[in-house]
């Protein structure tokens, strides 16, 4: 989600957690004789309101099931999960923060989803289920799909009378365009912000070079040469004046509400267009798949899955109720109409098609780019291993050093790889 959403939410984060009791008492009709399912998720206050409404709808249709929501901002959510794990007091259904997927797996947090009779998997192929699985076990379910994209302001392009390079653009094509745009546009805009710490774009860069973020064995799948080339691509743009400086964007995590009106494009996840475009309603934003290296490796495209899971300590008597709630999340178009598509395109291919009927223009833009990438053959993608939960923060810190001229690109690459490896070794 956009940085503005997170900052706005911080003041209300406590309300999100305290709101659980309110929903239970207002909507829980099962009383003491029904089943209570705790459901934990994160987001901003808008997402909280929409999911609360959807859970109310679920309870009206399933009066024997009471849903007890546990909501928090992203970072607070992870902190609370850590505490709940230690106490073995984990919600029956919970979203999984990306850095924690394999850490939770290592700690035995997941219950198998393959034997839950109330979870309908008929819309999913065997290949889908295999791609959802962790170490060959179907223990988590995607509730969205992201792909790496370039998001650009079409209104700015039209005002400047400029066109992007063709759809088959390379990284070199994009670099040349960004430099030229910053020098020539009539409004004095920079082409982009400085964000080599955008993990989806970085992963696309690596996979095109035949490398990966992570291997099936839980190791790093990339080397210092590919990482240094990534840093160098951004350094050239910074030196050419094509990007906002760290001072202009106020650090490595620019506030989109502050910089979105000053740049033409940025890298990101496909779902971000929904919240971020809403901040500039007078402009039209579009998405395009990330550039592709001229000698890109086969199968480099990838889908990123935000996941949810069932706690392995759930009472057997509650499993079917949990399955029904997950089924509502991943198979029901009415659910999507209520919550929107801020968590990405539906992983269910049937719902992806149906979503076009009620999606906004920005959501349609997101659906189309995800649908296009799904059509490509893709080699397997692996989740971050235990011990790497802060790797993105490390990437951001090292990227900052490069921008400030404190660290050379090769030195920065070596330092980051050493830091990530230390975390993996510590958890081995």
pLDDT in tens, 128-151: 999 999 999 999 999 999 999 999
- Lowest mean pLDDT across 6-10, 108-112, 241-245, 257-261: 6-10
Average pLDDT of the chain? 92
Instruction: Dump the DSSP string for 278-303.
Output: TT-TTS-EEEEEPP--TTPPTT----
Query: Which pLDDT score, from 0 to 100, does residue 33 have?
Result: 57
pLDDT at 186: 86
Q: Quote the DSSP letter at residue 260.
A: T
Q: Please, which pLDDT band fits residue 6 given cuts at 50, 70 and 90?
A: very low
Measured CA to CA, the distance from residue 256 to residue 193 in angstroms comes to: 10
- Write out the H or E segment, with its range, that includes residue 399: helix 391-403
- Position 364 scores a pLDDT of 98
Backbone angles phi, psi at 40, to 5 degrees: -115, 130
The tokens for 75 are: 């970072």
Of the candidate CATH numbers 3.40.190.10, 1.20.58.100, 3.30.70.3150, 3.40.50.300, the domain formed by 148-300+387-427 belongs to: 3.40.190.10
Residue 4 pLDDT > 90, yes or no? no
What is the residue extent of each domain of the chain?
A: 3-145+305-371, 148-300+387-427
Q: What is the mean pLDDT of residues 244-269?
A: 96
pLDDT at 176: 98
Q: Which fold has domain 3-145+305-371?
A: D-Maltodextrin-Binding Protein; domain 2 (3.40.190)
Please name the residue that has the structure tokens 């970072």. Answer: 75
Cα–Cα distance for residue pair 50/57, rounded to 1 Å: 11
Q: Is the dihedral of CA 345, 351, 355, 358 positive or negative?
A: negative
Distance between CA 176 and CA 104 in Å, rounded?
A: 43
| pLDDT higher than threshold 50 for residue 415 | yes
Q: What would the pLDDT profile of 50-88 be if each residue is shown by its tens digit?
A: 999 999 999 999 999 999 999 999 999 999 999 999 999
- What is the rounded average pLDDT of the residues 321-339? 97
DSSP SS3 for 25: helix
CA 178/CA 176 separation, integer angstroms? 6
* Average confidence (pLDDT) over 160-170: 95
Res 376 pLDDT > 90: yes
Residue 148: beta bridge partners?
269
Q: Is the pLDDT of residue 381 over 80?
A: yes
Helix, strand, or coil (residue 210): coil
Whether 3-145+305-371 and 148-300+387-427 share one fold: the answer is yes
Distance CA 323, CA 13 (A): 28
User: In angstroms, rounded to a whole number, what is the distance separating the alpha carbons of residues 75 and 189?
Assistant: 33
Cα separation, 28 vs 34, in Å, equals 9
| Spatial CB neighbours of 8, under 8 Å, sequence gap ≥ 6 | 44, 45
What pLDDT, on a 0 to 100 scale, did the predictor assign at position 427? 92
Angle subtended by helix axes 391-403 and 224-239, to nearest 10: 40
Least confident residue range of 3-17, 195-209, 328-342 = 3-17
Identify the band that residue 24 occupies on the pLDDT scale cut at 50, 70 and 90: very low
Q: Model pTM?
A: 0.91
pLDDT above 90: residue 367: yes
Backbone phi and psi for residue 410, each to the nearest 5 degrees, phi listed first: -70, -45
What are the pLDDT digits (tens) for 194-250?
A: 999 999 999 999 999 999 999 999 999 999 999 999 999 999 999 999 999 999 999
Please state which of the ranges 8-17, 153-162, 223-232 shows the lowest mean pLDDT.
8-17
Fill in the DSSP letter of residue 160: H
Q: How far is CA 208 from the centre of its chain?
A: 20
Q: What is the mean pLDDT of residues 123-131?
A: 95
* Confidence at residue 316, expressed as pLDDT on a 0 to 100 scale: 96
């Amino acid at each position: 989600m956009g940085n503005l959403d997170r900052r706005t939410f911080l003041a209300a984060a406590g309300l999100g957690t305290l709101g659980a009791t309110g929903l239970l008492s207002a909507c829980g009709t099962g009383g003491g004789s029904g089943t209570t399912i705790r459901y934990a998720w994160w987001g901003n206050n808008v997402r909280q309101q929409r999911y609360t409404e959807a859970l109310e709808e679920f309870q009206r249709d399933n009066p024997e099931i009471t849903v007890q929501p546990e909501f928090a901002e992203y970072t607070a959510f992870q902190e609370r999960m850590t505490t709940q794990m230690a106490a073995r007091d984990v919600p029956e259904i919970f979203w999984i923060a990306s850095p924690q997927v394999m850490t939770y797996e290592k700690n035995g947090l997941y219950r198998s989803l393959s034997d839950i009779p109330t979870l309908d998997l008929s819309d999913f192929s065997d290949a889908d289920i295999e791609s959802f699985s962790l170490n060959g076990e179907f223990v988590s379910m995607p509730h969205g799909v992201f792909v790496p994209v370039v998001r650009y302001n079409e209104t700015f392009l039209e005002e400047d009378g400029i066109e992007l390079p063709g759809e088959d653009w390379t990284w070199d094509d994009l670099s040349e365009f960004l430099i030229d745009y910053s020098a020539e546009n009539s409004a004095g805009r920079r082409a982009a912000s400085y964000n080599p710490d955008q993990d989806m774009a970085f992963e696309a860069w690596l996979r095109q070079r035949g490398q990966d973020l992570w291997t099936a064995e839980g190791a790093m799948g990339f080397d210092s040469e590919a990482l240094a080339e990534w840093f160098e691509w951004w350094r050239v743009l910074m030196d050419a004046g094509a990007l906002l400086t760290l001072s202009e964007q106020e650090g490595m995590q620019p506030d989109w509400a502050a910089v979105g009106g000053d740049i033409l494009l940025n890298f990101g996840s496909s779902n971000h267009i929904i919240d971020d475009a809403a901040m500039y309603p007078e402009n039209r934003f579009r998405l395009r798949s990330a550039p592709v290296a001229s000698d890109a490796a086969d199968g480099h495209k990838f889908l990123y899955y935000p996941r949810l899971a069932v706690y392995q300590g759930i009472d057997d008597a509650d499993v079917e109720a949990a399955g029904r709630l997950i089924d509502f999340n991943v198979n029901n178009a009415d659910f999507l109409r209520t919550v929107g598509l801020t968590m990405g395109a539906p992983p269910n291919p049937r719902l992806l098609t149906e979503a076009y009927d009620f999606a906004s223009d920005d959501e349609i833009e997101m659906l189309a780019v995800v649908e296009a990438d799904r059509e490509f053959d893709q080699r397997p993608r692996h989740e971050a291993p235990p011990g790497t939960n802060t790797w993105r923060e490390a990437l951001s810190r090292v990227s900052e050093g490069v921008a400030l001229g404190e660290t050379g690109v090769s030195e920065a690459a070596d330092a980051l790889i050493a830091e990530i490896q230390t975390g993996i070794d510590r958890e081995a």
